[in-house]
Amino acid sequence: MKPVHILSMMTLLALSNGVIAEDRIQQQLKGWLEEQDPDADGRISRDEATGLMKRFFDRNDSNKDGFLDTKELLALAERLARNNGRNRNGDQNRNQRTYASDAKIRSQVPEGVAVELNIAYREGNKAWQLDLARPKEVSSSPRPAIVFVHGGGWVSGDKRAESFIGPALQYASKGYVTVSVNYRLDREILPCVHDVKCAVRWLRAHSKEYNIDPKRIGAYGNSAGGHLVTMLGLSHTEPTLEGDGPWQDFSSRVQAVAASATPTLPRFGRGSDEVRKRVAPMSYVSADSPPMLLFHDEADRTVPVANSDGFVKALQAAGAKDITYKRYTNKSGHGVFGRNAKETVPMMEAFFARTLKPGNHSEQERD
């Protein structure tokens, strides 16, 4: 009888992982060409490249012909896959290990503020959680609320990022009810939109419990988070963006938006042209757009400043009445908000006080 050769479990896993890695490399290549090859010639020119592909174009253009062809893109995808594999071996979940624990957050809570952590705004996925902060002092009138949405290119980041949970705690000490939101991380973007809308609906559904005025909810986000909060302010006219989550009897619209380094017509992510149009804030510009405070720097290589330039022009042309655009030229780049904090932080604080505090908010219809 011939010997039977049985593959070890480790060998099977290695073979399986090899197939999965190769599939991911091919998907990565396909995604890049779908996103950054509008003339469909099978290569990406310097002018077509966006984000990090544009930033590191010369490094990846090995033959220096001004194009990234399939061979060069495959080499890049393979290199990224190897790096990701090494990262996964050392850290299976970077988000959980690099962001603040519950205990650390509780140690940072300002005096007079109460927090509730890891609240499920929908059941079934750990991504559907938020952290909530509010003043301990009892108020005879409902309080305004602010939703903080982290960035990370729709594929990374966490509600515990210091630039989001930190301000959430501080704004709670100023009389707001605040939430910092997690959402499913997905390059197709659509699930991210569904989730943040569900979180806002949850907030309205629980407005009496937390003494929130449902007609005075604002939102802040940076980069991908900026995109998502802008969608919260504009896209309430598109019911298909609400997703299949609960609290559908409540509106997902916010009444004031502060956003920085915002992709308003994103060429990032994956999906059909129809889906990309549906998740683009530019698609929902109208005269009744809520008050907006926008920040961008002309040296931003991750999200070109043209995103905000064109967006603001479209808002003005549509007749939007309350748009403030701070366009920086100091090479603060994609970190425009944090690197200009001496100006951006007080500007945002004044903006939310003006648009959300009692007696100060606009008279436009707010659902």
Q: What is the pLDDT of residues 196-210, one digit of tens each?
A: 999 999 999 999 999
Q: Which residues contact 261 (CB under 8 A, 6 or more apart)?
A: 151, 222, 223, 226, 295, 296, 297, 300, 302, 303, 334, 335, 336, 337
Domain end residue (candidates: 39, 67, 89): 89
Position 298 scores a pLDDT of: 97
- Model pTM score: 0.75
80: in domain: yes
| 219, 315: one domain | yes
Domain end residue (candidates: 24, 54, 89): 89
CATH number of residue 56's parent domain: 1.10.238
Query: What is the amino acid identity at position 335?
Result: G
In the three-class reduction of DSSP (H, G, I as helix; E, B as strand; rest coil), residue 324 is classed as: strand
Distance CA 115, CA 121 (A): 15
Beta bridge partners of 297: 328
Q: Please give the radius of gyration of the chain, using alpha carbons only, rounded to the nearest integer.
A: 22
**Whether the Cβ atoms of residue 207 and residue 134 lie closer than 8 Å to each other:** no
Indicate the DSSP class of residue 223.
T
229: in domain: yes
Q: What is the pLDDT along the chain (367 residues), one digit of tens a residue?
A: 444 444 444 444 443 344 445 666 777 787 788 778 888 888 999 888 887 788 788 889 888 889 999 888 888 888 887 765 554 444 344 444 479 999 999 999 999 999 999 999 999 999 999 999 999 999 999 999 999 999 999 999 999 999 999 999 999 999 999 999 999 999 889 999 999 999 999 999 999 999 999 999 999 999 999 999 999 999 999 999 999 999 999 999 999 999 999 999 887 555 677 888 899 999 999 999 999 999 999 999 999 999 999 999 999 999 999 999 999 999 999 999 999 999 999 999 999 999 999 766 444 444 4
251: in domain: yes
**Phi, psi (rounded to 5 degrees) for 182:** -100, 160
Q: Which residues contact 190 (CB under 8 A, 6 or more apart)?
A: 241, 271, 275, 278, 279
| 226, 299: one domain | yes
Query: What is the pairing mode between strands 44-45 and 67-68?
Result: antiparallel
Q: What is the DSSP string of 157-173?
A: --TT-HHHHHHHHHHHT
Q: What is the DSSP string of 182-219?
A: -----TTSHHHHHHHHHHHHHHHHTTTTTTEEEEEEEE
Distance CA 87, CA 78 (A): 14
CATH number of residue 115's parent domain: 3.40.50.1820
Distance CA 306, CA 225 (A): 18
Position 49 scores a pLDDT of: 85
Indicate the DSSP class of residue 178.
E
**Planar angle of CA 187, 188, 190, nearest 5 degrees:** 125
In the three-class reduction of DSSP (H, G, I as helix; E, B as strand; rest coil), residue 363 is classed as: coil
| 31, 112: one domain | no
Which strand (E) or helix (H) includes residue 143? strand 143-149
**Whether the Cβ atoms of residue 347 and residue 300 lie closer than 8 Å to each other:** no
Domain encompassing residue 340: 101-356
| 300, 215: one domain | yes
| 34, 82: one domain | yes
Distance CA 273, CA 35 (A): 10
297: in domain: yes
**Whether the Cβ atoms of residue 255 and residue 361 lie closer than 8 Å to each other:** yes
Which strand (E) or helix (H) includes residue 55? helix 51-55
**Phi, psi (rounded to 5 degrees) for 331:** 60, 30
